[in-house]
Amino acid sequence: MSTQPLMPKATAVWLVENTALSFDQIADFCKLHPLEVKAIADGDAAQGIKGLDPIVTGQLSREEIARAEKDTAVRLRLLESKVRVPEAKRKRGPRYTPVSRRQDRPNAILWLVRNHPELKDSQVMRLVGTTKATIKAIRERTHWNSASLTPLDPVTLGLCSQIDLDMEVSRAAKEKPIETETGVTLLPADVTTGPGAEEAMEDEERTPSEELDVEAVFAKLKQIGGGKSDEE
C-alpha cells in the first residue's frame, strides 16, 4: 500500500485552498517540507498547478479532514484503496553484467559448455548475459581469443548465483530424453515354441566349458598315473 498521495503538490494546493489544516499537517500528508507548503500558500511555489481533490480521488474522507482541522496534532491518514491493481509481472530480460566482469564471460561460457553440455544456448545466455554467436564461437573454438580462454566457474566470477545455475541444470536434466536400456531380450515365441525348440535352447545355453573332450581327459589321467608308477 502506498503511503504517499497521488500528485502530492496538486493535492497540497487543494488542501491549502480548501481546508483549515496547518502547514505541518499538509506537509506530513503530502510528504513535503512545511516551508514548501508555506510557499504554496504564499503563491511563491506550485504556480500554475491545479489543485487535486483527495476526496474525489478516494485518498481522504471529509470526516478525516474535519477531525484534523479540530486538532493540529492529528495527522491525516491515507484511505486504503478499494481497487486492487495487480502488479505487472517483470519480464526477465538478458542478465546485466558489470563492465569489470564482461571480460570473464568467455571463460565462464567455456566452463559451462564443458561441465554442463546439456545446457541450451538460451540457458547459458540467461546465466552469463551473452549472445548466441559468442556461445557458438566458443563451442566451435572459432572465438578470436580461444587460445587464451580458461574455463572458470561463473558463480565464482560473480556472473550468476549458485541457485540460478542449479535451477538451469535441473531444468535441462528434466528436458533431456530418457535413454532406453539395451540389454538381453527374450527369444521370439516361434523360436521357443516351434519344432526343435528344446534342442535349440540347449545349444544356446551350452557354453564352451561344458563341452568336454573325453579323450583329452583320459590322456591326462594316464599321464598322471604313469608319473606316479615311475617314481615308485
- pLDDT at residue 182, rounded to an integer: 58
**pLDDT bucket at 99, cuts 50 / 70 / 90:** low
Could you tell me the pLDDT band of residue 209, with boundaries at 50, 70 and 90? very low
Express each pLDDT in 40-97 by its tens digit: 888 888 777 888 898 888 888 899 999 988 988 889 888 876 655 455 555 555 555 5
SS (H, E, C) 19-56: CCCCHHHHHHHHCCCHHHHHHHHHCCCCCCCCCCCCCC
What integer pLDDT is reported at residue 48 of this predicted model? Answer: 79
Q: How many CB atoms lie within 10 A of CB 105?
A: 20
Q: Which of the pair, 211 or 131, is modelled with greater confidence?
A: 131
pLDDT tens per residue, range 9-51: 899 999 999 998 999 999 999 988 999 989 888 888 877 788 8
Q: What is the C-alpha separation between 52 and 43, in angstroms, rounded?
A: 17
In the Cβ-directed half-sphere of 85, how many Cα atoms lie within 13 Å? 6
210 compared with 185, residue with greater pLDDT: 185
What lies within 8 Å, CB to CB, of 145 at 6+ separation is 106
